[in-house]
Structure 1
Amino acid sequence: MPDRAEGLSMRTHKALSRSAEVPGRALAVLLALSVALGAAFVLAPSRLAAIGTDGGLSEQRNLIDALSPAFVKYWRSGDQGFPPDLQRLVDYWLRFHVIKAVLAAALLIVFVVLGVLLWKAFLRSSGPGAGGRGLASAAILVSVLALVSLVSLMANVQGAMAAFSSATTLLPLGAPSGQLAGAIDQIKQGLAHYPSTSGQNAVALKVMVNDFGLYHAVLAVMASIVALVLVGLSVLSWRRFATADRSDRRTRRTMRSFGVLSALLALTVIVIALANEGTATDPAPALLGFYKGGL
């Protein structure tokens, strides 16, 4: 079986080379970059972000263990500024997301360039043979990876812009215990009556609500930009579909698929943008749902 699979892979590679003129050197460089960046995205951020810190923050278990008491200390202080222990963790989480965002952006660029090369090669290829099928499969896979990279980029930019709210997602809210459980109960009580909350925790609660609003505002802005890009891609695809020769069925099918999928993705992203805009406008109820374990 391995010999047969290897033989099929070799025949497919030869078919791709004959039918599509895929630039081999560029393809090899882009594939190598995607593998290297993918490995860096998984392995590097926690280690790089932890440089110059103590407490083994690169291990998530240590990060979570340090976060709970630091969070409780901040809540009890009632101050606007974070205590040193919490500030250290928030700074680490900020660096972590910045590094991941940079790597996700690099991966997105590589996959977009690779996808363009493969789709162009597919449209130039002739016939429904192994070459065309192989190019189509590779182009679809790369397109999916590009979308995954885009989602990761958006999530990490969001996490970097509102690192405190992002870090609180690591708290064991499902089953808090001890002092953390008491702090969570007080936060939920304060949010239930926000903004009329008073007392020593009012300032800290306001900071939490504002940062949570920023967390969702950032995603709303990014989703709006992505929606505009997707609408533009859909329009360009339909124009290419309309101008393609009727005898060129491959191009017309591909452009029609791009047009439909881009429009559907745009609608999905618009819904996400509107939902996050609503949360950013009035973040307290959503934050209450988060601390209740509903988000």
Structure 2
Amino acid sequence: MLGALATALVPAFVLAPRPLAASTSGGGFGGQQGLIDSLSKSFVDYWSSGDRTFPPGLERAVDYWRHYHVVKAVIAAMLLAVLIALGALLWKAFLRAGGLGAASRFALASAAAVVTALAVFSSAMVMANIQGATAPFSSLLSMLPVHAPHGELADTLHQVRQHLADYPNTGDRTPPALEVMVSDFSRYHAVIAVAATTVAVVLIGMSAVSWRRSARTGASDRRTRRVFRSFGLVSALLSLVVIVVAVANTTTTADPAPALLAFFEGGW
């Protein structure tokens, strides 16, 4: 049952968000290019409006993008829960597989390792989509064709770069739209900073528990000791990676303008 659920949730994660977001937000955009075209036009209108409030076109796109990431976050969280349960069953089966042949034990260990890796990937997807749902405007900006703009969009992006290069020393000349972008971009990275810190604490706890369980396991039960030691080592290494992510995003949260400028210059 868990395998069937995981198999169904993977394509759902890819295929379901767009139609569901379109139905819950009041309309879609007929594909990714339609969203890009609408965003490009509405972003130009927003920049030239001199107002902090999104114009209707941009508000519609941001609302759609929020719903899109909410759907993906929910599906990714469901998939993560299924994979955790499935992985736990597979690892328990492997630890109790003393009477099975080497091929069967290898198959169980391989399946458990693959499911564990997919669970790690799913947790990253949960974090990324919570980020997109919390700060959909910054997430949506990644769809702007900043590498090859044309027409009014090219002029607008040039003005954005100029103001970001001087930010925050622009005084009264700071466009309201720029203040919104910088503030939302800070929130965008703050979400990942908080989420990564939480995940790092969980991983460190898992590593400590795994090493403790390994130490308490009898020397004769080498399979169990090996599994707990592997979990302890992998959890510790993953926690280091997540800590780096948390620190990088905390730095960007405190000073978002340079990273936002790098984006508009095509740096990422």
TM range (shorter): over 0.9
Task: From 243, 252, 256, give the equivalent of 2:229.
Answer: 256
Q: For the residues of structure 1 that align with 2:160 and 2:64, how far apart are their CA atoms?
A: 24
Cα deviation, residue 35, structure 1: 1.4
Q: Distance in 2 between matches of 1:115 and 1:46?
A: 29
Counterpart among 107, 130, 135 of residue 157 in structure 1 = 130
Aligned-CA RMSD value = 1.2
Match of 2:119, as an amino acid?
A
The structure 2 residue matched to 1:230, chosen from 203, 212, 216, is 203
2:139 is aligned, of 141, 166, 169, to 166
Q: Percent identity?
A: 56
Moved over 6 A (4+): none
Decide which of 15, 35, 50 is 1:63's aligned counterpart. Answer: 35
1:201 Cα offset (Å): 5.3
Task: Write the letter of the residue equivalent to 2:115.
Answer: V
Distance of aligned partners of 1:128 and 1:235 in 2 relative to their CA distance in 1, 3 Å threshold:
farther
- The TM-score normalised by the length of structure 1 is 0.88
Describe how 1:29-48 pairs up with structure 2 within 5 A: 29-48=1-20
Structure 2: stretches of 5+ with no match in the other structure: none
| Amino acid aligned to 2:61 | L
Is 1:290 matched up with 2:263? yes
Unaligned 5+ runs, structure 1: 1-28
C-alpha deviations, 1:176-209, integer Å up to 9, x for none? 1111111111011101111122566521111100
For residues 179 and 268 of structure 1, the distance between their equivalents in structure 2, rounded to whole angstroms, comes to 41
Aligned to 1:107: 79
Alignment partners' CA distance in 1, 2:32 and 2:175: 30
For 1:102-152, what per-residue CA distance to the aligned partner results, in whole angstroms no more than 9, with x for missing partners?
000000000000000000110111166111101001000100110111010
Q: Could you tell me whether the CA contact under 8 Å between 1:45 and 1:99 is conserved in 2? A: yes
Shift of 1:53: 3.6
Deviation at 1:238, TM superposition (A): 0.1
1:271 and 1:201 mapped to 2: Cα distance? 33
Match of 2:189 in 1: 216
1:89 is aligned to 61
Q: Which amino acid aligns with 2:67?
A: R
Q: Does 1:244 align with 2:214?
A: no
Contact 1:216 1:279 (C-alpha < 8 Å) held by counterparts: yes
Distance 2:35 2:7 in 1: 28
Residue 13 (structure 1) aligns with: none
Q: CA deviation at 1:78?
A: 1.7
Give SS of 1:50's match.
helix
Instruction: Flag the 1:49–1:58 CA change in 2: closer, same or farther, 3 A.
Output: farther
Q: Residues of 2 paired with 1:292 and 1:173: CA distance? A: 7
Deviation at 1:58, TM superposition (A): 4.8
Does the 8 Å contact 1:49/1:58 carry over to 2? no
TM-score, structure 2 as length reference: 0.96
Structure with bigger gyration radius:
1
Deviation of 1:60 (Å): 0.8
Tell me the residue number matched to 1:143.
116
Q: Alpha carbons of 1:184 and 1:39: their partners in 2 closer, same or farther (altered >3 Å)?
A: same
Does structure 2 retain, via aligned residues, the 8 Å contact 1:234–1:262?
yes
